[in-house]
């Protein structure tokens, strides 16, 4: 599994470099078989890499014709094909991402987070709020609740307050390799007055709300998070 993941990441890196240097918008990429030979990876790995790039909006896959370099998208595309931070997903789509606001403080856990993390009501947890901007527009407001201790050691959320790091970096720094998977649910909701000023759009406007549970390599729930997405700035695409 680790070898397959490494091969996929290597193929993605090489393909992105080719699209940025050798191929222009509208150019057709070589066949999967030829790319597999050129990149020295298997054909299924190439197919998966092209699927990921398509989900990010970098290429277009036309049935019966091939794969072509796509024109730039006005809205960033948020691919959910792999476990990545919001920062890395946006950067992979070719857009600029900035952490506009970030705070971390101890607060009582919410009922939803307590149920998801298996903690008693009113337990003190880290309450981390982050506001991201994409191309200078507010794009996502995240609220994450993290136990004060993970595997018997105090968790430090400070790294999450900088764009140079993220939740997964902080967790894996705390316990190397601890992140196993994420489970995410999406629903369309009306933006409340509470969060409208943060996203700079009127209350009542439809937004996409994602609820995410980060789970360890031993099936231990680690972090409960809720994110409100502006879909006029970022589009979410799930590749299955």
Instruction: Please report, in tens digits, the pLDDT of each residue of the chain (240 residues total).
Output: 455 557 888 888 899 888 878 988 999 999 999 999 999 999 999 998 888 888 677 888 888 788 999 887 655 555 555 567 888 878 877 789 999 999 999 999 999 999 999 999 999 999 999 999 999 999 999 999 999 999 999 999 999 999 998 999 999 999 999 999 999 999 999 999 999 999 999 999 999 999 999 999 999 999 999 999 998 887 766 655
pLDDT at 78: 56
C-alpha 19/C-alpha 7 separation (Å) is 18
Query: Check: CATH 2.40.128.20 for 2-69?
Result: no
162-166: long-range pairs with CB below 8 Å, 24+: 162/99, 162/102, 163/87, 163/97, 163/98, 163/99, 166/85, 166/86, 166/87, 166/88
Q: Domain residues of the chain, as ranges? A: 2-69, 76-237
Closest by CA position to 176, among listed 207, 151, 143: 151
From the centroid of its chain, how far is CA 181?
12
Q: Identify the helix (H) or strand (E) that includes residue 186.
A: strand 179-190
Cα separations (Å) of 180 from 84, 123, 213, 214, 221? 12, 24, 11, 8, 10
pLDDT at 1: 46
pLDDT at 231: 87
2-69 shares its CATH topology with 76-237: no
pLDDT at 237: 64
Q: Which fold has domain 76-237?
A: Chorismate lyase (3.40.1410)
Phi, psi of 111 (to 5 degrees): -60, -40
């Amino acid at each position: 599994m680790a070898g397959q993941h490494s091969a996929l990441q290597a193929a993605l890196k090489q393909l992105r470099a080719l699209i940025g240097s050798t191929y222009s918008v509208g150019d057709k990429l070589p066949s999967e078989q030829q790319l597999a030979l050129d990149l020295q990876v298997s054909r299924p790995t190439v197919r998966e890499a092209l699927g990921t790039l398509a989900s990010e909006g970098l290429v277009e896959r036309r049935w019966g014709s091939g794969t072509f370099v796509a024109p730039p998208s006005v809205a960033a595309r948020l691919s959910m094909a792999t476990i990545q931070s919001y920062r890395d997903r946006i950067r992979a789509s070719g857009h600029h991402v900035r952490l506009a606001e970030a705070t971390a403080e101890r607060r009582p856990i919410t009922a939803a987070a307590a149920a998801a993390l298996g903690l008693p009501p009113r337990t003190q947890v880290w309450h981390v709020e982050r506001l991201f901007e994409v191309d200078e527009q507010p794009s996502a407001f995240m609220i994450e609740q993290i136990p004060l201790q993970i595997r018997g050691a105090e968790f430090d959320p400070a790294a999450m307050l900088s764009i140079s790091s993220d939740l997964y970096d902080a967790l894996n720094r705390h316990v190397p390799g601890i992140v196993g998977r994420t489970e995410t649910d999406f629903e369309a909701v009306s933006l409340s007055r509470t969060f409208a000023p943060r996203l700079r759009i009127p209350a009542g406007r439809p937004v996409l709300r994602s609820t995410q549970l980060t789970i360890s390599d031993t099936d231990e729930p680690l972090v409960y998070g809720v994110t409100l997405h502006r879909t006029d700035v970022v589009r979410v695409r799930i590749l299955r």
